[in-house]
């Protein structure tokens, strides 16, 4: 007779990235669609509003 072993479920996967994020390693704003990179914009030469850039760097850094 085998002892009762609780079955382990794998941890749920995090939701895929969607939207614009700031990538610290490359100093770029990166757009993700369904978890895949869509395009990149260098932080120094992007035309986004300064307030938006600062907020995104604080809240959506990866």
Token pair for 14:
């995090």
Domains of the chain by residue range: 19-59
pLDDT band at 5 (very low <50, low <70, confident <90, very high): low
- Long-range (24+ apart) CB contacts under 8 A made by 12-19 are 17/62, 19/60
Torsion 54-59-60-62 (CA) sign: positive
Could you tell me the pTM of the whole model?
0.71
Nearest to 28 by CA among 45, 40, 18: 40
- At 2 the pLDDT is 60
9-22: per-residue pLDDT in tens?
888 888 888 889 99
């Amino acid at each position: 007779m085998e002892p009762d072993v609780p079955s382990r479920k794998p941890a749920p996967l995090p939701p895929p990235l969607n939207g614009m994020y700031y990538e610290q390693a490359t100093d770029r704003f990166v757009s993700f669609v369904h978890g895949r990179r869509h395009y990149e914009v260098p932080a120094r030469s992007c035309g986004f509003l300064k307030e938006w850039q600062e907020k995104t760097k604080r809240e959506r850094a990866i």
